[in-house]
A and B are shown apart, each in its own frame.
Chain A
């Protein structure tokens, strides 16, 4: 019944009033991988997930999850998928243990089996000590782990993860990433919505870039970067005050204005080959600009997004 495709969506549309939140999304997600859906806030990622998880009906288009139609066979789809929503999808008034027992019972475990399953998951996700505390007293990272644990009471064929690391500190984020890797290693397909380019780059085998309700690019992270064309030289200066000088030197060598990154000491510049990159580094050295670190790499997904849409992926104000 399944084949090699986890999700096939064609022309999904969802309109709210006069806004086309999702405006003809096509997706083909292979089984057993993390598939990234990347886009800024309001691009239509969550609405797409909600249609695929049978929470809302598409206004047009169709989608099949592991061969089952989301509109015609919603119960069959629900039996195959789990959802970890953007809002914490656990009950904050209940304890962690109670939340998992509730999920286990709703999925058909009897009371003793439900309690045992809850204990197993709490142990696996490092939440034993917090098991008896109300979720409203959990840290963001703990809540996220519980949230994911609640999606794994029954191991799903397909897991929807909607912005799983938004608002988490780097350590919690890494924990979530590790869990996702284990999940995929075990055979679950993960549809990961994110607005973080590095997250998609780290985890996803393929990425769909979505903007204003449409898929504007699709491919492996490498293909997406290659579609932008050139490689880039990334430098980090020892002293951020050197940045204007470094910009002048780099532009002179490369012939294109460097891109200021979020880090006030960092610059990147497109380079056609490694020879030009070495020349640029030599010139910086000659101009007494000390470097903390440099790297020659493919363009970042940030640059990919800029190239695809003509504007940055995130509305960051701190670059000015």
Chain B
């Protein structure tokens, strides 16, 4: 807040306006180009600012998992696991995974919305590392998820979630989920660049995500399913992630399960990150 009274431009002579613009131009020398990481972090900062100015987008990803947690625990807990208490321990890691899948879809929707605005043209006309805007946006989304995840776990703890893995187990579990989310987001950014409207991305995204969520071990023990369905649940990467996260939070994950998730995340990134960057270049 400056203390000098601001003069509206109309009240000044054209000369004064010209002089100020001239002075501003004279000092516009070019600093050395930023490194890739610095550029990506700036775009990540943009994501943070958007959360600050449009906090509704945080509600989207926070309310859904909390609602699911409440509904499923109290609605199905008794029937599925014998008690709501017991079911909560089972379902909470799964709900975290579910909310991550939703966040990943939003990454694609956000990118698609962005592409229709002129600001992307400006980004692309800058001499910065080309994937930086994408990477930065996904970093922002990772923060968004971390906030949503923390809220979900806190609500869970209030409801009676007592993981044997303790704080460390929960944090490791969340970290794994964030890593996987980061990988999965590339799938939806690819979709976001291929489809025409944000709505199409949202629809296609959820259409792909819902079967993966429900045909997994998020809500029920796959042993109760018919054989063909159990087979699908067994190869669903979402199930692998849920298993590893659940075990991490319970304090005893097999290294093989975690490795499988990391390999899947790496494979998804290896395919879809270059694809996204390619599409982004050509838009």
The answer for the CA separation of A186 and B39 in the assembled complex, in Å, is: 29
Of the listed residues A57, A87, A110, the one surrounded by the most CB atoms of chain B closer than 10 A to its CB is A87
Q: Which residues of A contact B117 (CB under 8 A)?
A: 87-88, 91-92
Contact between chains at B21 and A75 (CB < 8 Å) = no
| Of A57, A85, A98, A171, the contact of B122 (CB 8 Å cutoff) | A85
Contact between chains at A126 and B54 (CB < 8 Å) = no
Contact residue range for chain B?
Answer: 35 or more
Contact between chains at A83 and B122 (CB < 8 Å) = yes
The answer for the CA separation of A93 and B18 in the assembled complex, in Å, is: 29
The answer for the CA separation of A203 and B10 in the assembled complex, in Å, is: 21
Contact between chains at A178 and B42 (CB < 8 Å) = no
Q: Is the interface of B mostly helix, strand, loop or mixed?
A: helix
Residue total for A at the interface (Cβ-Cβ under 8 A): 60
Minimum CB distance partner of B33 in chain A: A108
Contact between chains at A106 and B18 (CB < 8 Å) = no
Assess A185 versus B28: contact at CB under 8 Å? Given A85-B121, A87-B117, A128-B2: no
Q: Considering the complex, which residues of chain A in the window 163-200 have a beta carbon less than 8 Å from any beta carbon of chain B?
A: 171, 175, 178-179, 181-183, 185-186, 188
| Of B39, B50, B126, the contact of A78 (CB 8 Å cutoff) | B126
Contact between chains at A106 and B20 (CB < 8 Å) = no
Stretch from A21-29, A116-124, A240-248 that touches the partner: A116-124
The answer for the CA separation of A50 and B26 in the assembled complex, in Å, is: 27
Contact between chains at A108 and B46 (CB < 8 Å) = no
The reply to whether the CB of A82 lies closer than 8 angstroms to some CB of chain B is yes
Contact between chains at B6 and A129 (CB < 8 Å) = yes
| Of B23, B27, B53, B125, the contact of A55 (CB 8 Å cutoff) | B125
The answer for the CA separation of A53 and B118 in the assembled complex, in Å, is: 14
Assess A107 versus B34: contact at CB under 8 Å? Given A55-B121, A81-B125, A155-B29: yes
A-to-B contact residues, CB < 8 Å = 50, 53-57, 75, 78-79, 81-83, 85-95, 98, 102-103, 105-110, 113, 117, 120-121, 123-126, 128-129, 134, 149-155, 171, 175, 178-179, 181-183, 185-186, 188
New A-B pairs, 17, CB < 8 Å, besides A95-B53, A108-B33, A117-B28: A57-B282, A78-B125, A89-B118, A89-B122, A91-B117, A94-B49, A94-B53, A105-B34, A108-B31, A108-B32, A121-B24, A126-B9, A128-B2, A149-B24, A155-B26, A155-B28, A183-B25
